[in-house]
């Protein structure tokens, strides 16, 4: 692990970690290609992790990562969140005809 893994997470490092977590979660599921997630840092939203129903895009808002979490812990946390979001694709059809 990088030496930065023991540092507190920041919004910039969380963006990188969220991308790494998504890649790891995709590998873990051996799932067909999914759209890249929207990774953001936005305090003005009510949900931190969700799938937008119009475009089926996963949104990962790193504001939802617990404060003072170390980067290494944040990566594990975000990988778990990504696993959860990918499971929606496995359990629910993701097209308008099947979803309606």
How many other β-carbons are positioned within 10 Å of the β-carbon of residue 87? Answer: 13
> Does residue 34 register a pLDDT over 70?
yes
Distance from C-alpha of 74 to C-alpha of 88, rounded to nearest angstrom: 22
pLDDT at 87: 86
Higher per-residue confidence, 18 vs 1: 18
Mean pLDDT of 83-87: 90
Among 3.40.50, 3.30.2010, 3.30.70, 2.40.170, name the CATH number for the domain at 3-99: 3.30.2010
Q: What is the pLDDT of residues 17-33, one digit of tens each?
A: 999 999 999 888 876 67
Q: What is the pLDDT of residues 41-84, one digit of tens each?
A: 999 988 999 988 888 889 999 999 998 899 899 999 999 999 99
Whole-number CA gyration radius for the chain: 14
**Cα–Cα nearest to 44, from 67, 23, 68, 61:** 61
pLDDT at 9: 67
Q: Which SS3 state, helix, strand or coil, does residue 60 take?
A: strand
pLDDT at 3: 40
Higher per-residue confidence, 1 vs 88: 88
pLDDT at 95: 55
């Amino acid at each position: 692990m990088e030496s930065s893994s023991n540092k507190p997470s920041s919004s910039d490092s969380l963006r990188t970690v969220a991308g790494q977590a998504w890649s790891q979660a995709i590998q873990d599921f051996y799932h067909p290609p999914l759209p890249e997630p929207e990774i953001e840092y936005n305090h003005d939203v009510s949900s931190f992790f969700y799938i937008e129903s119009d475009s089926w895009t996963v949104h990962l808002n790193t504001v939802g990562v617990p404060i003072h979490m170390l980067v290494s812990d944040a990566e594990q946390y975000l990988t778990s969140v990504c696993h959860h979001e990918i499971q929606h694709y496995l359990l629910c059809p993701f097209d308008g005809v099947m979803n309606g």
